[in-house]
């Protein structure tokens, strides 16, 4: 699960989001899409269910992150005019989230980021199981 499927991502130049926050949001979306493809293409029921649980959890956490950040004022604009393509490894996303937590964010946003880091750790572990 090192490389993710390309996906449309928010363009930092058209947004007032900090670049790291933008990368985190975009790459969580990319991981969710990658997990959905794994879910659809596996022949193992256990892997199928694990991927489904992982993308469902991340999708809910992403929604919670964006809504918490919007409500606290950590984010103000999520509607850029253009999109680009991107991909990132789980390790890179994890690093971006850690960097994002160093920014002046509300406690609610930090708490959701911690939950997402926990999910990424779980996904990394489960992706090593065969």
Strand ranges inside the chain, DSSP E: 7-10, 83-86
Asked if the structure places residue 46 within a domain, the reply is yes
Spatial CA neighbour of 55 closest among 74, 33, 73, 71: 33
More confident call, 101 vs 10: 101
Domain presence at residue 95:
yes
Q: Does position 36 have pLDDT exceeding 70, yes or no?
A: yes
* Residue 1 domain flag: no
Which residues partner with 9 through β-bridges?
A: 84
- 3/33: higher pLDDT: 33
User: Domain limits at 119?
Assistant: 7-128
The model's pTM: 0.66
Q: What percent of the chain has pLDDT over 90?
A: 13
Number of separate domains in the chain? 1
Residue 39 lies in a domain: yes
Q: Is residue 2 part of a domain?
A: no
Inside any domain, residue 93: yes
- Phi and psi at 7, nearest 5°, equal -150, 165
In-domain check, residue 36: yes
Q: What is the pLDDT of residues 42-101, one digit of tens each?
A: 888 888 888 888 889 999 998 998 888 888 887 776 655 444 445 667 888 888 889 888
Q: Which tokens sit at 90?
A: 């789980």
């Amino acid at each position: 699960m090192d490389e993710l499927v390309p996906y449309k991502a928010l363009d930092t130049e058209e947004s007032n989001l900090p670049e790291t926050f933008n990368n985190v949001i975009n790459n969580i979306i990319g991981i969710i899409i990658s997990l959905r493809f794994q879910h659809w293409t596996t022949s193992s029921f256990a892997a199928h269910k694990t991927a489904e649980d992982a993308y469902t959890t991340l999708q809910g956490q992403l929604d919670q992150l964006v809504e918490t950040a919007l409500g606290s004022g950590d984010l103000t604009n999520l509607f850029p005019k253009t999109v680009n393509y991107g991909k990132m490894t789980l390790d890179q996303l994890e690093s971006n989230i850690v960097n994002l937590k160093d920014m002046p964010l509300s406690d609610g946003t930090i708490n959701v980021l911690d939950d997402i880091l926990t999910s990424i750790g779980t996904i990394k572990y489960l992706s090593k199981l065969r």
